Structure 1
Amino acid sequence: MKTLLTAAAALLALQAPAFAEDLDFLLINDSSADLVEFNVSPASSGSWEDNLIDGGYLAPGYEIGVLIADGATTCVYDIRGSFADGSEAEDYGLDLCDLGEYTFTD
């Protein structure tokens, strides 16, 4: 019985790196306009994911915690923000596994 448990534990340990890890970071709006749309997509994707603040906004000078639990095993993402004044900002190839915060500025 001990051998069976050891084999099962070893199998789980080998599979652990394949499981996705939730990514969380602090999003800060240090711009002069409300952030009205915020998209995060894996860098390998050809399109943007859904707006993470749909129906809301992040006012200048405020921050919010962002949790990405998309099941992906990648750490590298692209970020896009759209603002109430019509401006947009995009950033590519960010390692969200190491990112503690992301700040939008003018």
Structure 2
Amino acid sequence: MKLSAVAVAAAGAALLIASPAVAEDLHFQVHNNTNQTITELYVSKVSTNSWEENILSGEVEPGADLNVSIEDGESVCHYDIKVVFENAQKVYNNQNLCELDGGAYNVL
């Protein structure tokens, strides 16, 4: 009986290891909660050593929102965000964007 329980546990563990991670696209809003216009916005996986392309096609005025979709087919939650304003920039490291669950990310 003990051998059967071990075999079942091993088979279950093998299934868990073999199962692919479920990939989910991220959808959220960036809210410009500053008094400056956002001119560029970069969102890159924490594991990446360089910034991805600027995702803005225009500018985000103070108080305005921008809908963002990250549709990379990966199950990554942690991203670095670089926000470029007309005269400055801010970097927000290791942000868990999955926690937003479609809500807003406030740029302060």
TM-score (structure 1 length as normaliser): 0.76
Matches for 1:60-99 after TM superposition, within 5 Å:
60-84=62-86, 86-99=87-100
* Aligned residue identity for 1:78: D
Q: How many residues align?
A: 90
Higher radius of gyration, 1 or 2 = 2
1:20 aligns with 2:23: yes
What stretches of structure 2 of length at least 5 have no aligned partner? 1-14
Structure 1's consecutive aligned runs of 4 or more residues displaced over 3 angstroms after TM superposition are none
Matched with 2:4 is none
* Aligned residue identity for 2:85: F
Q: Deviations over 1:12-68 (max 9, x none)?
A: xx74x52421001111001111101000000010011111103x0000011121111
Matched-pair identity in %: 38
**CA RMSD, 1 decimal:** 1.7
TM-score (structure 2 length as normaliser): 0.75
